[in-house]
């Protein structure tokens, strides 16, 4: 695409330049520049991309976008007010504005985003829609399943637009996009042209990045405020905000949302709510009531929070897009589980072993409450807290576990460049503050594999051992190195060793050497 075509909808200042180069791609990392690329420079968390403009040009960049006044570069330089904001619009233009050719459903929130995204996808797929999905686990485009990374968030803006373009080229008509707060704050999903925006909840998380809860909430609100900026689409513009009536964010989002509003929740005041809930050890049954409709649902997911996730998905499909009740029922029933979300690991042991992604105080509370419903015995929790992330969570999660679990094992979870012992000490202070006794109600075991083994050794018949915080993730970070790690593999390795049967080997972490 010619540079002049690419920048038609972009506000910029371009110093006089005679050439109009052909653009072969758009990148914001100078190390990834290939000949013919447009390099977009902006200030990041650790460095300033403007420092690498010359290096990008040496590697073949034929044009540059930045916020600083242009110097005497030998390629066209476009000065914009905010190059990070410009990046997604440039990417959208480069890929032919794919969001304008799809019905785009965005799902955000602190907890439950991935599950709700998958539920919506399953319902639409069951209903016969040609639908794609971009989640923090993977991108699904027709028969293709693409990995979206290790420690995952919303992909970078050029990647998002590339995925959307691939969906358009594959003949898809709908896409469900999981949207993180980092993705919203860094404008990675600008230019996606959202038609339906869904919130799961907003609870304590990422305050290390956003500073305050109010700032975090306002970033989430960007998704809902963007609905009125979606361009006209010949195939329709739902422009609907699906809000959680039970969550503290409801009133705030109701005021900032620019689309029409549909609420869901357990409260009778919600537009869509459940009745007649039946809890079973491996499934949920409930009746969905709302908008002059009433129908039953059965779900293989467990926990009240998954009823809420189902209601969000139903609201976004049945009530927003007109999907039939039978397709919604079949779509929800078709999901056997979500990777790393209350996922049971069974090698024949006489207790329940679960791996869950719960890595926030609210998610840990929900996971432990659900685990409690599964047993009349003990709930034994294993989890840690990430380094270089929200420090307040460390104490809060230890306190939550002391209150809701019978026994707690504190361990590593991506310490990064922080000292693991210091992280564990902060968690210990939270447990002891609530009356926990180290060596009796809780333990600290730095090596996560050993921690899972120890938790299993504490289990009696009928108990629940639940490892939280990693879920589906495929690595753990120590220093600046990502070590291959999967909690599900670790749980299977520990169980096979406990049972004395052949099994997987415990993945390596550097804490094993200490």
Q: Is the residue at 101 inside a domain?
A: yes
Q: 3-class SS at 394? A: helix
**What pLDDT score does 210 carry?**
53
Say whether pLDDT at 216 is over 90: no
**Looking at the structure, do residues 133 and 78 belong to the same domain, yes or no?**
no
Q: Is the residue at 26 inside a domain?
A: yes
**Looking at the structure, do residues 349 and 448 belong to the same domain, yes or no?**
yes
Which of 83, 104, 130 delimits the end of a domain?
A: 83
**What pLDDT score does 146 carry?**
85
**What pLDDT score does 337 carry?**
87
Which of 325, 358, 393 delimits the end of a domain?
A: 325
**Looking at the structure, do residues 190 and 317 belong to the same domain, yes or no?**
yes
Give 400-427 pLDDT, tens digit per residue: 999 999 999 999 999 999 999 999 999 9
Q: Looking at residues 245-254, what average pLDDT do you find?
A: 95
Q: Interior CA angle at 102 toward 101 and 106, to 5°?
A: 140
**Looking at the structure, do residues 78 and 103 belong to the same domain, yes or no?**
no
**Looking at the structure, do residues 148 and 200 belong to the same domain, yes or no?**
yes
**Looking at the structure, do residues 243 and 348 belong to the same domain, yes or no?**
no
**Looking at the structure, do residues 76 and 101 belong to the same domain, yes or no?**
no
**Looking at the structure, do residues 29 and 117 belong to the same domain, yes or no?**
no
**Looking at the structure, do residues 258 and 400 belong to the same domain, yes or no?**
no
Q: Is the residue at 194 inside a domain?
A: yes
Share the mean pLDDT of the chain: 93
**Looking at the structure, do residues 350 and 203 belong to the same domain, yes or no?**
no
Q: Looking at residues 223-248, what average pLDDT do you find?
A: 94
User: At 149, is the pLDDT very low, low, confident or very high (cuts 50, 70, 90)?
Assistant: low
Q: 3-class SS at 283? A: strand
Which of 59, 83, 107 delimits the end of a domain?
A: 83
Q: What is the CATH number of the domain that holds 484?
A: 3.90.190.20
| Contact (Cβ atoms closer than 8 angstroms) between residue 33 and residue 56 | yes
**Looking at the structure, do residues 68 and 159 belong to the same domain, yes or no?**
no
Q: Is the residue at 288 inside a domain?
A: no
Say whether pLDDT at 260 is over 90: yes
Tally of domains within the chain:
3
Q: Which two tokens stand for residue 147?
A: 């990995």
Compute the distance between CA of residue 47 and CA of residue 45 in angstroms, rounded to an integer.
Answer: 6
Q: Is the residue at 375 inside a domain?
A: yes
Compute the distance between CA of residue 346 and CA of residue 127 in angstroms, rounded to an integer.
Answer: 33
**What pLDDT score does 212 carry?**
86
Give 48-79 pLDDT, tens digit per residue: 999 999 999 999 999 999 999 876 789 999 99
Q: Is the residue at 286 inside a domain?
A: no
Count other C-beta atoms under 10 Å from residue 223's C-beta.
27
Domain of residue 446, residue span = 343-509
Q: What is the CATH number of the domain that holds 7?
A: 3.40.1390.10
Instruction: Report the side by side order of strands in the sheet with 273-280.
Output: 273-280, 283-290, 293-299
| Contact (Cβ atoms closer than 8 angstroms) between residue 129 and residue 141 | no
Q: What is the CATH number of the domain that holds 307?
A: 3.40.1190.10
Give 91-129 pLDDT, tens digit per residue: 999 999 999 999 999 999 988 999 999 999 999 999 999
Query: Which of 246, 248, 251, 188 lies closest to 222, judged by CA?
Result: 188
Is residue 38 within a helix (H) or strand (E), and if so which, with residue range?
Answer: strand 37-40
Q: Which residue has the higher pLDDT, 70 or 5?
A: 5
**Looking at the structure, do residues 312 and 419 belong to the same domain, yes or no?**
no
Q: Rounded to two decimals, what is the model's pTM?
A: 0.87
Compute the distance between CA of residue 38 and CA of residue 33 in angstroms, rounded to an integer.
Answer: 8
Q: Is the residue at 427 inside a domain?
A: yes
Q: Is the residue at 331 inside a domain?
A: no
Say whether pLDDT at 206 is over 90: no
């Amino acid at each position: 695409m010619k540079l002049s075509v690419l920048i038609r909808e972009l506000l910029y200042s371009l110093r006089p330049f005679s050439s109009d180069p052909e653009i072969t791609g758009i990148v914001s990392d100078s190390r990834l520049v290939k000949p013919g690329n447009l390099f977009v420079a902006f200030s990041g968390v650790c460095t300033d991309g403007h420092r690498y403009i010359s290096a990008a040009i040496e590697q073949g960049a034929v044009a540059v976008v930045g916020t600083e006044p242009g110097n005497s570069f030998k390629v066209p330089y476009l000065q914009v007010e905010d190059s990070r904001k410009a990046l997604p619009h440039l990417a959208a233009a480069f890929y032919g504005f794919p969001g304008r050719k799809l019905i785009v459903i965005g799902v955000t929130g602190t907890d439950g985003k991935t599950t709700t995204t998958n539920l919506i996808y399953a319902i639409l797929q069951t209903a016969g829609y040609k639908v794609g999905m971009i989640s923090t686990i993977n991108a699904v485009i027709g028969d293709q399943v693409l990995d979206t990374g290790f420690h995952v968030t919303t992909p970078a803006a050029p990647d998002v637009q590339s995925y959307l373009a691939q969906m358009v080229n594959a003949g898809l008509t709908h896409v469900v996009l999981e949207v993180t707060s980092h993705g919203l704050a860094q404008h990675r999903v600008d230019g996606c042209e959202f038609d339906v925006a869904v919130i799961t909840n907003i609870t304590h998380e990422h305050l290390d990045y956003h500073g305050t809860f109010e700032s975090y909430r306002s970033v989430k609100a960007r998704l809902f405020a963007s609905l009125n900026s979606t361009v006209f689409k010949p195939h329709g513009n739902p422009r609907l905000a699906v809000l959680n009536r039970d969550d503290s964010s409801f009133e705030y989002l109701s005021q900032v949302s620019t689309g029409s509003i549909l609420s869901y929740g357990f409260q009778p005041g919600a537009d869509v709510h459940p009745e007649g809930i039946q809890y079973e050890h491996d499934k949920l049954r409930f009746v969905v009531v709302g908008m002059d409709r009433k129908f039953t649902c059965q779900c293989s997911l467990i926990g009240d929070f998954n009823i809420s996730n189902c209601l969000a998905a139903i609201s976004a499909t049945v009530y927003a897009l007109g999907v039939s009740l039978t397709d919604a029922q079949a779509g929800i029933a078709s999901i056997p589980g979500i990777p790393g979300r209350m996922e049971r690991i069974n090698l024949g042991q006489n207790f329940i072993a679960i791996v869950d992604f719960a890595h926030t105080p609210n998610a840990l509370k929900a996971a432990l409450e659900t685990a409690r419903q599964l047993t009349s015995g003990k709930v034994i929790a294993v989890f840690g807290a990430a380094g270089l992330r929200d420090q307040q969570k460390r104490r809060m999660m230890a306190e939550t576990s002391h209150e809701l679990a019978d026994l707690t094992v504190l361990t590593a979870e991506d310490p990064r460049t922080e000292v693991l012992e210091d992280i564990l000490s902060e968690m210990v202070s939270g447990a002891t503050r609530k009356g926990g006794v180290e060596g009796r109600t809780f333990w600290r075991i730095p090596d996560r594999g050993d921690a899972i083994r120890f938790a299993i050794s504490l289990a009696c018949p009928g108990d629940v051992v639940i490892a939280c915080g990693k879920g589906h993730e495929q690595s753990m970070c120590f220093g600046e190195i990502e070590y291959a790690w999967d909690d599900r593999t670790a749980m299977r390795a520990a169980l096979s060793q406990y049972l004395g049967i052949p099994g997987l080997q415990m993945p390596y972490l550097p804490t094993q050497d200490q």
